């Protein structure tokens, strides 16, 4: 049994600040929390801001009391580097809130078995399929740490997922990463690289589509929140899915944002304390960032919304179509293949941002994916 490095200490806010559940909206949100920017690694493609900003635990818990929260995922930095991480997860679990985390292995390692079992799911960051390439990108010994902690989670009955960022440096290797995840009984969640702090790993148009084509050749699609890919697969956008529609992020600096790739805006935890759940509809969250004028006549607009708004904003082209849109004049076709039916499982990050979840296809008797064709799967090209 692993001994937790976190002492038990009270950071629970006074009940005087806690409204009854009937006093808050019946709408529920998936909350992303970065307790801290601090990390024990320094990956070149990471989107977290520099520094070691950290949330006040009591202030965070008081804010969560004011929201109709169905789940909390801890990400951004390594949250176990925050001294109150253990106490925060104890309190959230006591309230019956589903908790998950994304980690490089460290935050799982330092928790006791009892505290680790409070998590519904633990997500481990792996961007390359071999120990040598992974450790070269993330740091010596990190592959082994993840192996140990994934095995520990499996032993404790905790669901695991592998998270990969699709980049220009690894897009062709992601099918092998999917196999790594499948061999460990885990799903693979993929985010296309966003140029938040650097554009060095940005995908070209051809690399973006090859990455998704190659993954669909070896894995079944569980859920797709990447708007352009979803549209090309003919998958309707679920109400409230992705792009901050039913999600909210609290950054280590205490800012409220709709998307993890957004820059901090005007909204802060103080606004949440003042407005409560009404903050979810505040226009300053930037949920309705506008749709490119050139997309208004496109039949795929209701599905993709003009593509990823954060990606367009980071490129300084918010008013233009998504750079990976294949429906723009002169763009080569996407050539996607459509796989078997989705499982319908409830996944922790399914409605969060522009993410895609795959299940490695281990059964050789399952039917191969089919090329898009037919009215239900082929997008209309103007």
Contact 356, 208 (CB under 8 A): no
pTM, entire model:
0.84
Give the residue extent of every domain in the chain. 20-371
What pLDDT is stored for residue 27 in this prediction?
A: 66
Q: What is the mean pLDDT of each run of 10 residues along the chain (382 residues)?
A: 50 46 56 88 67 85 89 91 95 94 96 97 96 94 97 97 94 97 95 76 91 94 88 74 67 83 76 85 70 85 81 78 88 74 50 79 56 34 26
102: Cβ contacts below 8 Å, ≥ 6 apart: 73, 74, 75, 123, 124, 125, 163
What pLDDT is stored for residue 289 in this prediction?
A: 61
What pLDDT is stored for residue 14 in this prediction?
A: 47
Determine the Cα–Cα distance for residues 124 and 13; give it in Å rounded to an integer. 31
CATH fold for domain 20-371: TIM Barrel (3.20.20)
């Amino acid at each position: 049994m692993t001994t937790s490095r976190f002492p038990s200490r009270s950071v629970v806010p006074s009940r005087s600040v806690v409204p009854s559940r009937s006093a808050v909206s019946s709408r529920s949100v998936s909350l992303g929390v970065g307790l801290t920017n601090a990390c024990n690694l320094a990956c070149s493609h990471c989107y977290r801001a520099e520094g070691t900003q950290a949330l006040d635990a009591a202030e965070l818990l008081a804010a969560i009391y004011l929201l109709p929260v169905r789940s909390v995922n801890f990400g951004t930095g390594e949250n176990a580097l925050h001294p109150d991480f253990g106490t925060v997860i104890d309190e959230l679990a006591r309230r019956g809130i589903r908790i998950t985390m994304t980690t490089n292995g460290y935050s799982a390692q330092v928790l006791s078995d009892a505290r680790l079992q409070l998590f519904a799911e633990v997500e481990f960051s792996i961007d390359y399929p071999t120990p040598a390439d992974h450790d070269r990108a993330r740091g010596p010994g990190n592959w082994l740490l993840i192996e140990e902690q994934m095995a520990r989670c499996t032993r404790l009955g905790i669901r695991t997922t592998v998270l990969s960022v699709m980049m220009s440096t690894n897009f062709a290797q992601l099918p092998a990463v999917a196999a790594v995840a499948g061999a460990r009984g885990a799903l693979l969640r993929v985010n296309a690289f966003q140029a938040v702090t650097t554009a060095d790993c940005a995908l070209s148009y051809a690399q973006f589509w090859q990455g998704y084509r190659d993954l669909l050749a070896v894995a079944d699609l569980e859920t797709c929140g990447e708007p352009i890919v979803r549209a090309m697969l003919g998958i309707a956008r679920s109400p409230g899915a992705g792009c901050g529609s039913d999600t909210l992020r609290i950054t280590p600096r205490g800012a409220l944002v709709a998307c993890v790739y957004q820059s901090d805006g005007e909204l802060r935890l103080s606004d949440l304390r003042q407005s409560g759940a009404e903050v979810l509809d505040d226009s300053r969250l930037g949920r309705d960032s506008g749709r490119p004028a050139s997309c208004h006549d496109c039949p795929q607009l209701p599905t993709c919304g003009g593509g990823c708004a954060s990606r367009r904003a980071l490129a300084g082209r918010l008013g233009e179509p998504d750079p990976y849109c294949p429906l723009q004049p002169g763009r080569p076709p996407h050539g996607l293949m459509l796989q078997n039916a989705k499982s319908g499982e409830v996944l922790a990050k399914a409605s969060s941002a522009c993410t895609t979840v795959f299940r490695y296809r281990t059964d050789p008797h399952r039917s191969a994916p089919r090329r898009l064709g037919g009215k239900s799967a082929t997008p209309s090209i103007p």
